[in-house]
Structure 1
């Protein structure tokens, strides 16, 4: 049994609201990303419904000739409804305490559970792309490697790609996208 999952962080966006689109550079990088992934045996592309992820997924799906599937469980983690001046400190805190939540926010454990449910539902011996957002992407990798944390989140680019191979023996996570 093996599942191969290509974890894609969306391209550069105009902002972080649900309907904020990709920038012109984000669209260009999405196209480059799709061309890069063309060399992999991908069967499914599943995306967050947020505009920036959906646009990135569309580039991939169009290039590979694969219909895009939306899954709301791939939407970015909602840390809080409040805006914090010390946002980075707050994010780091949620990696140090996976049960920490802020006003109307989701804990890291809750976010990890919903995104891991997506992975659990993928069939054995499949090759899928999950297009999501940086914080949720890192939390997903953390489900399979507890060493992954805040510093890894800070290193994520827009766009970015990781390959995660899940087998009975464990997980192997490889950073694939070396684009500047």
Structure 2
């Protein structure tokens, strides 16, 4: 029996330094409505999300549409790159993807973040076996989860994600059987 996980990278947010409570932008709200419409055709059973506001807001439309509460799962929050701001995001993120064990002070290595994400994904697969599950999440942790199953999901793949984006991961008895992109923002 297949279990389908819809990893939804959050829509565009309005920048604030408050990582947890950063809301969607006007464009983000419009895109969240597009996400709701697309997911409505997928017979969704359950909706989970990172506790970050922008991830919740991206998937709350489908949760309301199917009449369910969003289950918050800390394991799907974005990976922490460092304590405080990084000096050069592009070179720092490249360094993290080059060495999966490397971590900046106060941050998570790719391996630590990946392990956190996979632990949460396995809980979801076991609890919601045979269901269609939406997970509102973030680009880096999303690709790290996908990378666990196939190394072709890496830094360059992450750089080409859109915001929002949706990947459907189909599991056959908790073994990844197929990955399919079902939405890409073209604007």
TM-score, length-normalised on structure 1?
0.93
Written as runs of structure 1 = structure 2, the 5 A alignment for 1:86-125 is: 86-121=88-123, 122=125, 123-125=128-130
In structure 2, how many angstroms separate the alpha carbons of the residues matched to 1:110 and 1:78? Answer: 10
Q: Who is 2:6 aligned against?
A: 6
Kept after mapping to 1: 8 A contact 2:97/2:155: yes
Quote the residue 2:184 is aligned against. 178
Deviations 1:31-67 (A, max 9, x none): 1110111000211100011111111121221123222
Q: 1:163 aligns with which of 150, 157, 168?
A: 168
Pairwise CA distance, 1:142:
0.6
8 A Cα contact 1:4 1:166, kept in partner = yes
Quote the offset at 1:107 in angstroms.
0.9
Q: Which of 40, 46, 63 does residue 38 from structure 1 map onto? A: 40
For 2:65, the equivalent position in structure 1 comes to: 63
Q: Distance in 2 between matches of 1:74 and 1:149?
A: 17
Q: Which runs of 5+ in 2 are unaligned?
A: none
1:147 to 144, 152, 174: 152
Structure 1 position 27 matched with structure 2 position 32: no
Alignment: residue pair count:
180
Q: Secondary structure at the match of 1:117?
A: helix
CA distance in 2, matches of 1:2, 1:93: 36
- Report the more deviating stretch, 82-91 or 107-116: 82-91
TM-score (norm 2): 0.90
Q: For the residues of structure 2 that align with 1:153 and 1:15, how far apart are their CA atoms?
A: 20
Report the CA distance between 1:124 and its aligned residue: 2.4
- Tell me the C-alpha RMSD between the 2 structures: 1.5
Confirm or deny: 8 A CA contact 1:4 1:126 kept in the other structure. yes
Q: Give every structure 1 segment of 4 or more consecutive aligned residues whose post-TM-superposition deviation is greater than 2 Å.
A: 63-66, 82-86, 167-171
